[in-house]
Amino acid sequence: GEDVEQSLFLSVREGDSSVINCTYTDSSSTYLYWYKQEPGAGLQLLTYIFSNMDMKQDQRLTVLLNKKDKHLSLRIADTQTGDSAIYFCAEAPLVGSGTYKYIFGTGTRLKVLA
């Protein structure tokens, strides 16, 4: 099936680390993505990881990829109130036409408490 699963809610205190988890289904995805959606806005790409990598660090963001378990996680260090948003992971398997089909998770709503 094409289900990308995430936990629905996460609440952390400002300054703590946040870890958002995702389980995907298609092992052929070349890239895996994390998008952020703020209220009333479209999705914005936060970071991505190439499928032959285990880890990628980008400033406060760390992405971990476990291909064997098809598990992806996003860690946000020193979480700020401005990080409060919905976070979506996405897989993008290559389809027959030579383009990528994006499949988004259900989204994790992160609430940062001051």
Partner 1 sequence: EAGVAQSPRYKIIEKRQSVAFWCNPISGHATLYWYQQILGQGPKLLIQFQNNGVVDDSQLPKDRFSAERLKGVDSTLKIQPAKLEDSAVYLCASSARGLAGLRYNEQFFGPGTRLTVL
- Of the candidates 107, 76, 101, the one whose C-alpha atom is nearest the C-alpha of residue 89 is 107
Number of residues that bind partner 1 (CB under 8 A): 23
Return the residues of window 31-60 that contact partner 1 according to CB under 8 A: 31, 40-45, 48, 50
The secondary element (H helix, E strand) that includes residue 3 is none
- What's the rounded Cα separation, in Å, for the pair 35 and 47? 7
* Among 12-20, 63-71, 74-82, 97-105, the segment contacting partner 1 (CB under 8 A): 97-105
Distances (CA, A) of 2 to 71, 90, 105: 14, 11, 10
- Identified binder of partner 1 from the candidate list 34, 63, 85, 88, rule CB under 8 A: 88
Q: Is 61 in the site for partner 1 (CB under 8 A)?
A: no
44 or 81: CB nearest partner 1 = 44
3-state secondary structure of 80: coil
Catalog residues that contact partner 1 under the rule CB under 8 A. Answer: 4, 31, 40-45, 48, 50, 88, 92, 95, 97, 99-107
